[in-house]
Structure 1
Amino acid sequence: MTDHPPTIDPARHALFLDFDGTLAPIVARPEDARMPPQTRATLGALARRMDGAVAIVSGRALADLEPLLDGLDVALSGSHGHEIRMPGEETGEVPPLAEPLRAALGHLESLARSQNLRLEVKPGAITLHYRGMPHLEDMVRDEVRETAEAHAGLKPMHGNMVSEVVLDGVGKGAALRTFLSHAPFAGRRPVMIGDDVTDEDGFRAAHALGGFGIKIGVAETEAAFRLGDVPALADWLSALATRSPG
């Protein structure tokens, strides 16, 4: 794997970016995450330069993600690909909890109460956060895995201090494929950028679709390229936004 990613062509590539740990630093409480104002301005400039082929692809629900973007109008995917919003679309009503997840909710609510975990219910996922309690990781992951296995149509997904029960068939790779079947993304080469295990699915899809992945941080990855941290990505994006054509 080559560390530093190449310069991309704004006319031929599409950008897909995770939010937490990628555009915004990881913080103790997810609701406190903030994207630096300069990064927001850079993304807006890139979206204009790339004719709108920029998307934020997050595990967060769109109702949780949108307020953190300060009005930035780019394509969005939430709940690991379960929710999709194209550029310029109006924000609709929050979708209800997907039916396969309803049967799993009661057990995970009880687990969260008993272990003082933060439970997050999204349209396409039920999430248990154990940030600050790393000793609970094995127990939480086992419970989430067993819960998913006990209910048809669900699968477990694990990330940085978080475990989720999600719908089968969703993921960041699925989100990339959905975007790439519509303008302004169709016909472009995807570049997926993220920091967590949940982004690996997006890296694999980007590679399979003629593009590549960029991993933020030092963890093992299937991405072809790497940047060290959130500020390093901000610098790379800024250089892309300001580079002279040609």
Structure 2
Amino acid sequence: MTGTAINPLLRAAYLAKGGDRKITLVITWLSLKYQKLGYPDNAMFGSPWEQESYTRQWLERRIAFIPDFGICFYPGKFAVDKRSIIPVGDILEIIPNEEADIAVLQEPEHFTWFHHGKRWKTKFHLVIRLSTATQDYPRSIICNLHGVNPKFLEELAGVEIDLYGNGEDSDQVKEAGNKLKLVVRVHPGRDHADPLFHETTDVVCTTTAEALAMGKIVICANHPSNDFFKQFSNCRTYDDGNNFVEATRNAEPAPLTDAQR
């Protein structure tokens, strides 16, 4: 239930909307042994088809249309030392050559730690990286394909900052806030489009886009992963603590233009 799992699922659904593209979402299949390590809330699937059914049902509860896209599984395992799912074998073998047109890579470094198959650029006509913060590929292009849930374009509210997520570092985050004498409220993780978040949140770059879509001020680090957002007048970047304070005090949002929306 992380952003790197949910974002590609929603992206596949919206890219398939309208039916003028053939989209395939490629996700991992873990054995029961690794599912216990990598999946939340004791979620267990006896087969890829069972996992696909769960995935589509989860999606249908969150969007207002029935998307037409394929799901393809590659074998993987959960690497405890890296706290990450990594592929077993060559992912590219499961993708037919006649369908290997464009590949959108979500955190490609996970696929290449032990990659020993064809080069991505040999298999696909075009490789799209989602930001400059991802691993570089020769002749690949960088394009923000995230978009935001339409609900965020419809909501405007006041600003209040809380932290949501119940990951391994929750206790350390609370301790860090206490040391800095900040009011830090750490809550369990919730769906990004939950009505609870109609004021504002910040998690990763996806939420940065959501906040901008809602007409919010975004204050983010001057880092390559945030380059896309610098074109928006409501995006303020900082290089150090003093810049951060200055940007925070000067937080009066401007309306989005049609082009920015």
TM-score, normalised via structure 1 length? 0.27
Greater Cα radius of gyration, structure 1 or 2: 2
- Please state which structure has a larger fraction of its residues in strand: 1
